[in-house]
Amino acid sequence: MVKTLIVYESRQGYTHKCAKEIESLLDGSVVLVKAKDANKEALEQYDLIIIGSAVYAGGIPSSIKRFSKRNMQKLLQRPFSFIHVWYGH
């Protein structure tokens, strides 16, 4: 069974809505976690990691940057996808 982790940050709810939609489309087990809580997750157990973030003031939130930098090697060792939400949603 494929295990997917979706890590996201959402201030107004649109990215969370996208994450929930993706969750509903995926087979296997899917865990949704806010970026600020994602460091508690053992990434090794996931086959696929999806990161979802919006753009705020021309950049991505620090929680997403921190998670991505801290886990760069693990992210590069498995399929991962970055979902970007911005004006126009």
Give me the residues that bind ligand FMN (CB under 6 A), please. 10-15, 54-58, 85-87, 89
Specify the residue, 9 or 80, whose C-beta has the smaller distance to ligand FMN.
9
Assigned token pair, 65: 């940057």
Choose between 76 and 87: whose C-beta lies nearer to ligand FMN: 87
User: Within the chain, what is the greatest distance between any pair of CA atoms?
Assistant: 39
* Cα 59 to Cα 55: distance, rounded to the nearest angstrom: 5
Distance in Å, CB of 52 to ligand FMN, minimum? 8
CB of 21 to ligand FMN, least distance (A): 13
Tokens of 36: 């600020």
Nearer to ligand FMN, 25 or 57 (CB): 57
